[in-house]
Amino acid sequence: MKKSFILALAALAALTLTTTAGTLSVGDPAPELKVAKWVKGDAVASLDPNKIYVVEFWATWCGPCRASIPHLTELAHKFKDVTFIGMDVWENGADKEGTVTKFLKQMGDKMDYHVAMDAEDAFMADNWMKAADQNGIPAAFLVQNGKIAWIGHPMSGLEESLGEVVAGKFDVEKAKQRSAAENKVKAFYQKAMKGGDEAELLKEGKELEALDQKIGGISPGGEKFNAEEVLKQVKFQAAMQAYQKAVIAGKDDAETARLEAAAKAVAPKEMDFAAIKTRLQQFQNSQKAQAIFQKYTQAVGENGDKEKAAELGKQLGDLNLKDAQSLNEFAWAILTDENIKQRDLPLALKLAKAAVDASGGKAAAMLDTYARALFDSGKVADAIEQQKKAVAACEDDAEKTELEAALKKYQAAAAAK
């Protein structure tokens, strides 16, 4: 099977298996923009009907979103007359703006387009995503002449559609047919994931193959739809979902071994299940850590509980988390979040050091947080050493200026002693 269909299936796997009747589709007028704040780039007050836009929905916690960001930046550089907007939705945590701002600093030039945060009433999520029956992120909307020209995963079909739009070769009627066909593929996929009758599925699959040929490719890239290959992928994904849920839920060894064997039976030969299991266990720990940290932030807030905070802090430290980004976010929040009134510097130091170790000691953002934790803990000389490493590792000019300012602050404190 070709790349775009595999990506499309991977995106579908993240969606719920229930569908709703979407009211927004290809050819419809684009909804308005309503945001809480523009956090990168100039504000885009409204969608000019004479311009082309890509509105892409994402969140900092979303792994596939992080993977697609550099690709979107490449497209923004390639299609310079197109305005790209990254719309943060469904963000987690008490300090959402702080989380997004920190993330943008870490990404630097890798996320080189306009970025905004959804309005407090979730206007963008409701009137764009929910209205178009888009239940998972990342999801992108291509807007031309004030109307929706394309909706889908930013890694699958967006570039091809943009090329057609910019070249003036985009066929709206064909796009509508393609969108309707994609919905049929989605329904086919969902039925297969639920374990539908295989003979009936194959019959529907053949009908989709005929439709695929009729409209010149359901995928914008023109790759052929192959029902048997799709069903193979679905069987594998269904088996993997069951296996993943078991590992993440901490099921007993016998149950996970049974589900692992079932997944291996339908998996491509090159699949490394030992590596997959390790990643799943790390994800499980990350989920636990996020839940613990949410409780921790409440315990160290205005009306916090010192004893509870100490207990939660110990739980967090004992997880032996290997997720560098989460560790870094936790440490930075403890050091800087205004809502945290009781700052546990030893915990921040421990988490920041773990983030540096998990990232191989070469990530500027992690080194910067570790240096801040050292400085706030009174270890100024060590802070200077780590901040120098952060400056050396930084590749973004704007971020490097901030890191250098912090370094000067630490050096001035050392000179004043």
- Helix, strand, coil content of the chain in percent (nearest 5): 60, 10, 30
Q: Around Cβ 75, how many Cβ atoms within 10 Å? A: 20
Give residue 331's pLDDT.
Answer: 95
Whole-number Å distance between alpha carbons of 191 and 205: 11
145, two tokens: 């002449």
What does the pLDDT look like over 302-346, one tens digit per residue? Answer: 888 989 999 999 999 888 888 899 999 999 999 999 889 889 999
Question: Which tokens sit at 244?
Answer: 């993943």
CATH at 65: 3.40.30.10
Which band of pLDDT confidence, cut at 50, 70 and 90, is reported for residue 2?
A: very low
Domain boundary among 188, 207, 225: 225
pLDDT for the residue numbered 222: 62
Domain membership flag for residue 411: yes
Same structural domain for residues 80 and 122?
yes
181 and 130, same domain (yes or no): yes
12 and 74 within one domain = yes
The reply to whether 395 and 266 lie within a common domain is no
Selection from 365, 371, 362 nearest residue 411 by Cα: 371
> How many angstroms separate the CA atoms of 254 and 108, rounded?
45
Give the H or E element holding residue 299.
helix 273-299
The mean predicted confidence, pLDDT, of the chain is: 88
Q: CA 146 to CA 389: how far, in whole Å?
A: 47
Q: In what order do the strands lie in the sheet with 139-144?
A: 35-40, 114-118, 82-88, 52-58, 139-144, 147-152
Q: What is the CATH number of the domain that holds 325?
A: 1.25.40.10
Expressed as residue numbers, the domain containing 344 is 284-415
Q: Is residue 279 part of a domain?
A: no
Residue type, 75: L
pLDDT beyond 60 at 10: no
Q: What is the pLDDT of residue 220?
A: 57
Say yes or no to pLDDT of 347 above 80. Answer: yes
Cα atoms found within 13 Å of the Cα of residue 103, Cβ hemisphere only:
26
* Dist. CA 246–CA 244, nearest whole Å: 5
Q: 194 and 107, same structural domain? A: yes
Report if residue 36 sits inside a domain.
Answer: yes
Q: Do residues 32 and 151 touch, judged by C-beta distance below 8 A?
A: no
Given 271, 303, 331, which residue is the final one in a domain? Answer: 271
Q: Does 8 have pLDDT greater than 80?
A: no
Instruction: Work out the average pLDDT over 237-243.
Output: 88
Query: Does a structural domain hold residue 277?
Result: no
The number of domains in the chain is: 3
| Average pLDDT of span 109-131 | 95
Query: Are 206 and 291 in the same domain?
Result: no
Cα 287 from Cα 280, distance rounded (Å): 10
Query: Does residue 288 carry a pLDDT above 90?
Result: no
For residues 107 and 169, state if they share a domain.
yes
